[in-house]
Amino acid sequence: MSEIKSWTTHRDAKQQKLENAASLLDGKFAKTKDAKELLELLISSNDKVVLEGDNQKQASFLSKVLASVDPEKVHGLHMIMSSISRPEHLDIFDLGIANKMDFSFAGPQSTRVSQMVADGTMQVGDIHTYLELYARLFVDLIPNVVLVAADKVDREGNLYTGNNTEETPVIVESAAFKDGIVIVQANEIVDKVPRVDIPSDWVDVVIPADEPYQLEPLFTRDPQNITELQILMGMMAIRGIYEKHNVQSVNHGVGFNTAAIELLLPTYGEQLGLKGKIVPNWEVNPTPTLIPAIESGWIKSIHSFGGEVGMEKYIAARPDIFFVGKDGSMRSNRAYGQMAGQYALDMFVGSTLQIDKYGNSSTVTNGRLSGFGGAPNMGSNPTGRRHSTPAWQSLRPDNDPLGKGQKLVVQMVETFGSNKKPVFVDHLDAEEVRKEAKLKNVPIMIYSEDTTHIVTEEGIAYLYKTDSMAERQAAIEAIAGVTPVGLRSDAKTLADLRARGIVALPEDLGVSRGQAKRSLLAAQTMDDLVEWSNGLYNPPAKFRSWS
Amino acid sequence: MSEIKSWTTHRDAKQQKLENAASLLDGKFAKTKDAKELLELLISSNDKVVLEGDNQKQASFLSKVLASVDPEKVHGLHMIMSSISRPEHLDIFDLGIANKMDFSFAGPQSTRVSQMVADGTMQVGDIHTYLELYARLFVDLIPNVVLVAADKVDREGNLYTGNNTEETPVIVESAAFKDGIVIVQANEIVDKVPRVDIPSDWVDVVIPADEPYQLEPLFTRDPQNITELQILMGMMAIRGIYEKHNVQSVNHGVGFNTAAIELLLPTYGEQLGLKGKIVPNWEVNPTPTLIPAIESGWIKSIHSFGGEVGMEKYIAARPDIFFVGKDGSMRSNRAYGQMAGQYALDMFVGSTLQIDKYGNSSTVTNGRLSGFGGAPNMGSNPTGRRHSTPAWQSLRPDNDPLGKGQKLVVQMVETFGSNKKPVFVDHLDAEEVRKEAKLKNVPIMIYSEDTTHIVTEEGIAYLYKTDSMAERQAAIEAIAGVTPVGLRSDAKTLADLRARGIVALPEDLGVSRGQAKRSLLAAQTMDDLVEWSNGLYNPPAKFRSWS
């Protein structure tokens, strides 16, 4: 019945490309010096290309090579990248090698991204959370070529990605089974890999890199920079949220607020008798500030999106806690981690740059298109969730027989940011950015409807208890300090909100402001963390004040 | 600072178990006849055990062996299973080998599950969607032992899972990197696997099965059973939803309603000039009723949760459409498929057994605790989604500057079910089931708030356009026919709802009832499907009327 047509056009195109490159390949292996020529043969103009740019790990050799190809030969690429991190990620747009981008996060390059969008150098497909972007690799962003990074590759082409496995498996799977070309940069070619993270069957081309891939210690927070205000907020959160809701599983954002909580568990948490009662299970990167809580027996399990520089030996020595392979190194996995972060946790705790009077928050500020990363995925209430936990269920509305629980989504902010600007505003800068960048929707990180608690140095607003938007606004005003939003609060309303448990001040929670001292932290310096780890944690040089 | 303790208790326990079983193992390999003794040595009482029970593929040899172990030696297991499908999945509870269950779906065994919960034989941890259950394997349901099924295993222990890879990778990863024991039943031991789906590094024990694993053709729908009412509803859906919202990516449920749509695309859809304009990208099992749409050039890509018996050769010959490995067989992946189904699609279209007056729906009926499967995950609006598509954006509210789009979640039902009972009811049976089974929440499959459209033989209710619960109820009543709920509708309200585009009847959509004939289906029999496939589709015996 059907007309005669080819059903193998992708396979044939791949085969043709590999044949064109055959003289540069010895089996799957190529020479470092041939990388540019190879990419010119294996990537066609207008291809969809995934360039691995994890939060931490960067396919930095391949991104440099991609920026060196001849735009006459390769142009108009549609790039798909979870993280825009390196200058050449954007150079390829200036050079005309690429013209369209679908991405998740652009932290370090967010200003330049904004400019490129404004001047039309870069067409943005869309901005995603990590998990959405991975999901689309199997639906409507199926790649023609993927460029990824491995630690070690054996003679057959099996990949070892070790601690920084991160997003490599999900990217490779999307190409390997849809006749895409999988190109790997390798730090090292070895006879035998410590373990196989990705089978050689899934790999087409391996190129030894000229230097090891870039790897950043993104989630290391020096305890020395934690302020007493942050300690006060941490104490409030532990009493007023972790304890109150009986939270068992959690993701922490990457700020000093949550680092403070991690360092308060073994001291303040212990005083409260909470050890063994709260937060045994974590989905989080292996941040060094977790070490004292782990060593004190607070934590049963940690699954991680990615690795963290300096934590390798410590993780290897704690396989009861971390996900560790038979070879002794961690297996991280950003796709499964985001899946767990969305669907399996009681609580997400994050921070932000602006919160509007309704409770919407964003890290997008004027002139910076920073993207979303993973926060909106973890900091949202997945309405498909059907299993229940005590914490989730504690947010169930009383008055609805068909009601269900909700994920705790907590924002912790000081009322004024480090730039002395108010965090609480009437309108988010994101509303302006939407217009400038011609985005379909305002780039809100976490919507008011998903936000269940806000913690400031003033107190906690239990937003999930509010019955109306007016009441929600009043609760936010009550903890917004002397920001313009906060100044609208009055004593009578505050008293009423406190009486009804919608707002709690430190004294309502039994938290003593006087106790909020740096001496309450289980570790006050990087050196303390090293000591807690019995010397197993090895901080990167920039975090070392000693030699 | 920390007290001296072991950080390798899981690793030590695993090592001890494997040492106890050493005499039964030759490397990773065991003999079929030793399976019972092996499980008694490798599984400890009270262990958390994942037993692979996909929708289609069942680790049936290992489940039989597990039901044969001595309950004196192994008891009190906490089972984690995506699908309760086989009698021995429940026998192990009668025998005391297991006492707790976390699961997703219990279709074939739902009556017995209900009884076991009522009489206390089975304690239910919770009921999940597939994706939630996988997510918890990395957080608070980390398994001690996993029992999975492979097609072929090579001498090193590399696994080939082929078309039915399904949930095996995510289960294995959760155990392999947390010192759990990975036990695999193999249909066949071979010198070289066609491809490596799971590396041998991740596998501890391989047991040749006494017979190939059970595999059911769960998603095959014989076109002969599609009614003209279903054809009418399919025509309305194509005009009033697919075309109207410009839907590009979709998941179809497994009923005859969606099979009708699949078979209408190459005929009715073609007449409407929609070819090349709608639904190029699918996340769906490879259902045979998709063959005519594929052959007619409607479909660009299909990613699948699992395989479908009889479709193997057809899939192998269509690698432009399906995800196929270098060996020529499909790679399915239920975890990534559910991830895509939740986050990357414009639309989910499903069916259900009951819809209440508010629009909540459930397949749980009295005496049957059938669980959730994947539908609530795909049939929900993930509030963490930040990327936009025209279909998603078409549901954006007009009156909210901070608003965003929404996933289309469509329920297609005839107003009376095949049992002649009304589908539209004031109260779901699920409310009673909640009490009987002592569930925390009413087991609702898809909540009203997530349901954007309902299609019946009467018309379409565009629920996303309603402003209040009262209006939503009126829209549902207007298409609920002569059910008790539908009888509350009146002509004036219907006229008003039609005028405002909240309800559309066939004539409003330009759909002619007279055209809704079986002859409009691109294939009317299984034989037609085989012919469309050029003989590549090979229906299972029970679907063959010819020899």
Q: What is the ipTM of this complex?
A: 0.97
Judged by a CB distance cut-off of 8 A, whether residue B444 touches chain A is yes
CATH fold of B223-512 reads Glutaconate Coenzyme A-transferase (3.40.1080)
- The answer to whether A98 and A92 are in contact (CB under 8 A) is yes
Chain A segment 371-400 residues within 8 A of B by beta carbon are 372, 376-388, 393, 396
Q: Which residue has the tokens 């009190």?
A: B76
Chain B, 447 to 476: residues with Cβ < 8 Å from chain A are 447, 449-450
Q: What angle do CA A255, A260, A266 make, to 5 degrees?
A: 140
Among chain A residues, CA nearest to B163: A177
Mean pLDDT score across all residues of chain B: 96
Predicted confidence (pLDDT) at residue B4 exceeds the cutoff of 80: no
User: How far from the centroid of its chain's Cα atoms is residue B503's Cα?
Assistant: 30
3-class SS letters over B331-387: CCCHHHHHHHHHHCCCEEEECCCEEECCCCEECCECCECCECECHHHHCCCCCCCCC
DSSP per residue, B486-512: GGG--HHHHHHHHHTTSEE-GGGGT--
pLDDT at residue A2 in the model: 47
Distance separating alpha carbons of residues A439 and B439, to the nearest angstrom: 43
Domain residue ranges in chain B: 11-215, 223-512
Residue B330 is given by DSSP the state B
Residue from the list A7, A342, A443 with its beta carbon closest to the beta carbon of B319? A7
Which of B80, B84, B131, B82 shows the shortest CA–CA distance to B102? B80
* Contact between A382 and B380 using a beta-carbon 8 Å cutoff: yes
Check if the beta carbon of residue A17 is closer than 8 Å to that of residue B329: no
Q: How far apart are CA B45 and CA B78, in angstroms?
A: 9
A75: distance to nearest CA of chain B, Å?
24
| Tens-binned pLDDT, residue by residue, of chain A (547 aa) | 445 689 999 999 999 999 999 999 999 999 999 999 999 999 999 999 999 998 889 999 999 999 999 999 999 999 999 999 999 999 999 999 999 999 999 988 999 999 999 899 999 999 999 999 999 999 999 999 999 999 999 999 999 999 999 999 999 999 999 999 999 999 999 999 999 999 999 999 999 999 999 998 889 999 999 999 999 999 999 999 999 999 999 999 989 999 999 999 999 999 999 999 999 999 999 999 999 999 999 999 999 999 999 999 999 999 999 999 999 999 999 999 999 999 999 999 999 999 999 999 998 877 788 899 999 999 999 999 999 999 999 999 988 999 999 999 999 999 999 889 999 999 999 999 898 888 999 999 999 999 999 999 999 999 999 999 999 999 999 999 999 999 999 999 999 999 999 999 999 999 999 999 999 999 999 999 999 999 999 999 999 875 4
Residue range A350-377+396-458+460-504 forms a domain whose CATH class is alpha beta
- Superfamily (CATH) of domain A217-345+522-534: 4-hydroxybutyrate coenzyme  like domains (3.30.750.70)
For residue B139, give the nearest of A1, A344, A401 by CB distance.
A344
Q: Give contacts of A138 with chain B, Cβ < 8 Å.
A: 283, 303, 323, 336-337, 339-340, 344
A281 touches chain B (CB under 8 A): yes
- CB contact under 8 Å between B396 and A441, yes or no, is yes
- pLDDT above 80: residue B483: yes
CA distance B87 to chain A (A): 24
Find residues 249-268 of chain A whose CB sits inside 8 Å of chain B: 249
The reported pLDDT for the residue numbered A192 is: 97
Q: Are B74 and B97 in contact (CB under 8 A)?
A: yes
Query: In the predicted model, is pLDDT for residue B102 greater than 90?
Result: yes
Q: Which of residues 208-227 of A touch B (CB under 8 A)?
A: none
Residues of chain A with Cβ-Cβ distance to B387 below 8 Å are 102, 126-128, 132-133, 136
Among B324, B344, B388, the residue with its CB nearest the CB of A135 is: B344
Kindly state the percentage of chain B with pLDDT values over 70.
99
Cα angle, residue B158 at apex, residues B48 and A329 outer, rounded to 5°: 65
Grouping H, G, I as helix, E, B as strand and the rest as coil, residue B57 is: strand
pLDDT: which is higher, B177 or A399: B177
- pLDDT per residue as tens digits for the range B322-339: 999 999 999 999 999 999
- Count Cα atoms within 13 angstroms, Cβ side, for A289: 29
pLDDT (0 to 100) of residue A3: 55
Give CATH for domain B11-215. 3.40.1080.10
The structure tokens listed for B50 are: 């994942």
**pLDDT at B547 exceeding the cut of 60:** no
SS (H, E, C) B132-161: HHHHHCCCCCCCCEEEEEEEEEECCCCEEC
> B11-215 with B223-512: one CATH topology?
yes
pLDDT of the residue at B546: 59
Per-residue pLDDT tens over the stretch B29-64: 999 999 999 999 999 999 999 999 988 899 999 999
Report the alpha-carbon angle B321-B325-B331, nearest 5: 75
What is the amino acid identity at position B331?
R
Which residue from A minimizes the CA distance to B181?
A326
Cβ contact, residue pair A344, B440, below 8 Å: no
Taking one residue from A and the other from B, the number of pairs with CB-CB distance under 8 angstroms is: 294
Nearest CB to B139: which of A8, A345, A404?
Answer: A345
Q: Which of B537, B171, B249, B304 is nearest to A178 (CA)?
A: B304
Convert the pLDDT of each residue in B355-365 to its tens digit: 999 999 998 87
CA dihedral sign, ordered B329, B334, B340, B341: positive
**Distance separating alpha carbons of residues A172 and A170, to the nearest angstrom:** 6
CATH for A12-215 is 3.40.1080.10
Predicted confidence at residue A51, as pLDDT, reads 98
CA-based nearest residue in chain B for residue A331: B177
Q: Which of B102, B140, B319 faces A11 most closely, judged by CB atoms?
A: B319
Please tell me the distance from the alpha carbon of residue B269 to that of residue B283, in angstroms, as a whole number.
20
Q: What is the pLDDT of residue A546?
A: 58
| Three-state secondary structure of A88-149 | HHHHHHHCCCEEEEEEEECCCCHHHHHHHHHCCCCEEEEECEHHHHHHHCCCCCCCCEEEEE
pLDDT of residue B2: 47
pLDDT given at position A437: 86
Residues of chain A with Cβ-Cβ distance to B199 below 8 Å are 158, 195-197, 199
- Regarding beta strands B214-215 and B57-58, do their DSSP bridges make them parallel or antiparallel, or are they unpaired? antiparallel
Distance from CA of A231 to the nearest CA of B (A): 22
Please answer yes or no on whether B297 and A384 come within 8 Å at the CB atom: no
What residues in B contact A158, CB-CB < 8 Å?
Answer: 199
Chain A CB within 8 Å of residue B138 CB:
yes
Chain A residues 309-338 with a CB less than 8 Å from chain B: 317-321, 323-326, 330-331, 333, 335-337
Of the listed ranges A106-115, B175-184, B242-251, B296-305, the one predicted with least confidence: A106-115
Mutate to test the interface with B, among A1, A164, A345 (most CBs of B within 10 A): A1
B384: nearest CB among A280, A283, A377: A377
Q: Distance, in angstroms, between B458 CA and closest chain A CA?
A: 27
Task: List, in sequence order, every residue forming a beta bridge with A425; answer none if it has no partner.
Answer: A356
Question: Is the pLDDT score of B110 beyond 70?
Answer: yes
Q: What angle, 0 to 180 degrees and rounded to 10, lies between the N-to-C axes of helices B87-94 and B110-118?
A: 10
Chain B residues within an 8 Å CB radius of A173: 331, 333, 336
Å between A256 CA and nearest CA of chain B = 23
Chosen from B387, B388, B442 to mutate, greatest number of chain A CBs within 10 A? B387
With H, G, I as helix, E, B as strand and everything else as coil, classify residue A540: coil
pLDDT at B404 over 90: yes
Residues 139-198 of B with CB under 8 A from A: 139-140, 142, 158, 170, 173, 176-179, 195-197
Is residue A453 within 8 Å of residue A241, measured between CB atoms?
yes
B220's CB contacts (< 8 A; 6+ apart) are B287, B288, B308, B309, B310, B539, B540, B543
| A256 in Cβ contact with A419 (< 8 Å) | no
pLDDT exceeding 90 applies to what percent of chain B?
Answer: 92
Q: Do A333 and B173 touch (CB under 8 A)?
A: yes
A480: Cβ–Cβ under 8 A, 6 or more apart, which residues?
Answer: A415, A422, A424, A456, A458, A486, A489
Cα–Cα nearest to B521, from B319, B318, B226: B226
Contact B335 A336 (CB under 8 A): yes
Report CA A45 to chain centroid distance, whole Å.
31
